[in-house]
Amino acid sequence: MVDFSVFDADNHYYEPKDAFTRHLDPSMQRRTMQWANIDGKERLLVGGSINRFIPNPTFANVSRPGALADYFRAKAGVGDMRAAFGELDPIEDRPEYRDRAARLRLMDEQGLEATIMLPTLGVGMEAALERDPEALTAAFRAFNRWLQEDWGFNFQGRIYAAPYITFVEVDWAVEELEYALEHDAGVVLIRPGSVFGFERRRTPGDPAHDAFWSRLNESGVTLVLHGGDCSYAPYEQLWGLAGETESFRVPPLKRLLSASPIQDTMASFMADRLFERFPNLRVATIETGSGWVAPLLSKLRTISIQVPGVFDQDPYELFMEHVWVSPFFEDDVLKLVERIGADRVVFGSDYPHAEGLADPLSFVKEIDGLPEADVRKIMHDNARALVTPRPL
């Protein structure tokens, strides 16, 4: 175990039913989020359709932290995922999932100095609304006001709840960034994936979004990329997969396909020369694993040789200067450290999700054998630096 307080870069809350509606303009309700009783079950309607990203969006009962840890380590004998969930806890019995004072008390018990706090339901909502930009921006404006009210973008230097940004309307993205900066945000959040547009889909680093990138670059605040619904349905449909996929109920083919939203997004950052154009940007990839890192670095090396002049700086060095990676606990973490160095690895437990760690500090077992200084970087120093704005 460690003998210092730890900074966990990947914690989650479970949103209350009014997370998207408490501060929503009532005129937008039918186009955004509503609750309805359908066939005796409370359903979440998003854009007028039943949304299945989270099978239990009320979170009335939730899985126990780490219930699926053995499943995600692919241990023999675990069996079907649904059986592996085990018993569920009533949300009323776990106030720390929705109350920041209770969460701080739990963090003290867990040995956590601080954490980046991220959505559970929220990371699946952009895809459902992206074809109605007015509704999408209204919903996430309301969401970010709820988030600041209930959790705080920077609560006592310990809880850094990440406001959600979409680029579907760049002026809105800049406005939300300004709101985040006014409230001392340590990080801001986007999903991996392209940006919906009526003329064409755009990369996040498209010059159309430069007003946002310029302000973020100036602020020195870190951008977090966190997995969710990344609008990859058209790609999946090429292989006969259709319709929404619920979290944890993923068809085998989808698991085996090679398209990677996080790798593609980071590749687009590099191809758009985002870090060359905005040299003060920092990006932390959270809950997207680390299996994409080596293939991307290999491709960057190849293209820099085959197409001389495509980068003004060495792409590997650009990556090392601007990107931090939070691996899954089931990844080969030591191999990642060997590849990119301890300075660029951050620990995240995914607590309290079923696929995360029941005891966040148990992650230290994955880096057993590293020098003490490297352990401290991964378990504390790197994440603490990321929530501290970097001056120009």
Cα(49)–Cα(31) distance, rounded to whole angstroms?
10
d(CA 307, CA 293): 21
Q: Which has more confidence, 215 or 68?
A: 215
262: buried, middle or exposed (CB in 10 Å: 19+, 13-18, 0-12)?
Answer: buried
The predicted structure's pLDDT at residue 369: 96
Tokens standing for residue 13? 């809350």
Categorize the per-residue pLDDT at 249 as very low, low, confident or very high, splitting at 50, 70 and 90. Answer: low
pLDDT in tens, 297-337: 999 999 888 888 888 899 889 999 999 999 999 999 999 99
DSSP secondary-structure letter at 97? G
Question: Amino acid identity of 145?
Answer: R
Provide the angle, in degrees to the nearest 10, between the axes of the packed helices 315-322 and 293-306.
Answer: 140
DSSP letter (8 states) at residue 64 = P
Q: Using alpha carbons only, what angle is made at residue 67 by residues 17 and 3, rounded to the nearest 5 degrees? A: 100
Q: For the chain, how many helices (H) and strands (E)? A: 16, 12
pLDDT tens, 236-245? 777 777 655 5
How many percent of the chain have pLDDT more than 90?
Answer: 80
Bridge partners of 116? Answer: 160
pLDDT band at 74 (very low <50, low <70, confident <90, very high): low
Closest by CA to 223, choosing from 213, 232, 231, is 213
Instruction: Evaluate if residue 282 carries a pLDDT over 60.
Output: yes
pLDDT at residue 91 tops 80: yes
What are the tens digits of pLDDT across the range 172-217?
999 999 999 999 999 999 999 999 987 789 999 999 999 999 999 9
pLDDT of res. 79: 57
Strands of 112-118's sheet, edge to edge?
A: 6-12, 112-118, 159-161
Q: At what angle do helices 170-182 and 210-219 cross, to 10 degrees?
A: 20
* 3-class DSSP assignment, residue 94: coil
Average pLDDT estimate for 65-90: 72
Mean pLDDT of 80-99: 85
> How confident is the model over 211-238, as pLDDT tens digits?
999 999 999 999 999 999 998 877 777 7
Phi, psi of 109 (to 5 degrees): -65, -35
State residue 245's pLDDT score. Answer: 57
- Residues 45-64 have pLDDT tens digits of 999 999 999 989 999 999 99
Is CATH 3.40.50.970 correct for 6-386?
no
Map 280-338 to HEC letters. Answer: CCCEEEECCCCCCHHHHHHHHHHHHHHCCCCCCCCHHHHHHHHEEECCCCCCCHHHHHH
Q: Percent of the chain, pLDDT > 70? A: 93
> What's the farthest any 2 CA atoms get from each other in the chain?
62
pLDDT higher at 148 or 200: 148
Question: Rounded to an integer, what distance in angstroms lies between the CA atom of residue 82 and that of residue 85?
Answer: 6
Q: Is the pLDDT of residue 76 over 50?
A: no
Q: What is the pLDDT of residue 247?
A: 61
The residue written with tokens 């930009």 in the block is 133
Residue 28 carries which side chain, given as an amino acid letter? M
Contacts 24+ apart (CB under 8 A), 269-275: 269/204, 269/205, 270/296, 270/300, 270/311, 270/315, 270/318, 270/319, 271/203, 271/205, 272/203, 272/205, 272/206, 273/205, 273/311, 273/312, 274/205, 274/213, 275/318, 275/321, 275/322
3-state helix, strand, coil in the chain (%, to 5): 40, 15, 45
| Average pLDDT of every residue of the chain | 92
Who contacts 175 (Cβ-Cβ below 8 Å, separation ≥6)? Answer: none
Mean pLDDT on 60-87? 74
| pLDDT reported for residue 188 | 98
User: What was the pLDDT predicted at 198?
Assistant: 74
| C-alpha–C-alpha distance, residues 103 and 85, integer Å | 23
